[in-house]
């Protein structure tokens, strides 16, 4: 029973992306690999095992750009199922956060990213953005998302479910 449960529920990838606005500009990167290589994208990446969503996006932005941020609210969720030749059907979840700029100047990591910059919003149409990043920016500018709430499960629930960390947005 357990192995069946795991096989039906374990094939998920969770990625995070960040909208970081600062002084009328948005933080964007260019990836060195993948389908969007050479296009401007929102910074982000995959959530590591045991990591919260908010700490994952803060880490990814720092790694890819050198910019310190804080997740303010969850603004968008994209879900798709796609077929992987070596793994079968994968449930792929991408969660985008509004981020508060905390400091630092954008610098590409030269491993995953070739460029990292703050681009003025009024100049965004001059840049070759990935389709999804373009859509998210156009749709979400000046819109608020779901904030991180202060709810924490009680001690009994945390112990019964062996909860290591917990986040609730709403």
Active site residues per annotation? 115
- Which residues in 79-96 are b (16+ Cβ under 10 Å) and which e? eeeeeeeeeeeeeeebbb
97 close to 61: Cβ distance less than 8 angstroms: no
With a CB cutoff of 8 Å and minimum separation 6, the contacts of 125 are: none
Structure tokens at 126: 């001059």
């Amino acid at each position: 029973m357990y192995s069946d449960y795991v096989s039906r529920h374990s094939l998920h990838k969770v990625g995070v992306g960040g909208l970081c606005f600062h002084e009328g500009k948005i933080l964007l990167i260019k990836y060195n690999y993948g389908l969007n290589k050479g296009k401007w994208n929102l910074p982000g990446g995959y959530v590591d095992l045991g990591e919260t969503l908010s700490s994952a996006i803060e880490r990814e932005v720092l790694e890819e750009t050198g910019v310190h941020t804080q997740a303010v609210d969850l603004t968008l969720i994209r879900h798709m199922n796609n077929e992987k030749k070596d793994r079968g059907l994968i449930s792929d979840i991408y969660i985008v956060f509004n981020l508060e700029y905390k400091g630092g100047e954008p610098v590409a990591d030269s491993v995953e990213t070739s460029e990292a910059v703050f681009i003025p919003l009024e100049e965004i149409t001059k840049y070759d953005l990935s389709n999804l990043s373009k859509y998210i920016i156009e749709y979400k500018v000046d819109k608020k998302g779901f904030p991180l709430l202060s709810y924490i499960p009680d001690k009994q629930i945390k112990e019964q479910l062996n909860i290591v960390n917990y986040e609730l947005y709403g």
